[in-house]
Amino acid sequence: MSEKLTEFLVKDVPEEYFIIDRMCCPKCRAPKLERVRQELLQLKDIPQVLKHEGASGKADKLILKCKECGFQFTILFHLHRLYVERLRSYTEKILKILEE
């Protein structure tokens, strides 16, 4: 089970990968992490500081595991409102194309 939670506010997917690819294991400091699980969450309670900065209430929850020592930890990427609006816009465009 995950033992530690780290939170970030992101504006796009590449930013999530940028952060993960530069992380080291919090326990042994090895830079070898693998993604164990990812899920999209709809959060009810958002920290006020993140809400003020633009958090939308949606978040990507990732569980990462160190390939060296096996330590698991959780990262929560709060999705910025602009990120969610952009995804919604892409979805609408795709649906229109599929309807044609």
Any idea what DSSP says for residue 34?
E
Q: Looking at this protein, which amino acid is placed at residue 8?
A: F
Q: Looking at this protein, which amino acid is placed at residue 55?
A: A
Residue ranges per domain, the chain? Answer: 5-99
Helix H or strand E segment including 76: strand 72-80
pLDDT for residue 2: 42
> What is the rounded distance in angstroms from the CA atom of residue 15 to the CA atom of residue 72?
21
CA distances from 99 to 73, 74, 81, 85, 86 (A): 42, 39, 27, 21, 20
CA distances from 62 to 4, 27, 33, 56 (A): 11, 17, 12, 17
CA-wise closest residue to 86 among 1, 15, 2:
15
Which pTM was predicted?
Answer: 0.79
Per-10-residue mean pLDDT of the chain, 100 residues long, equals: 71 92 94 94 89 92 96 94 89 89
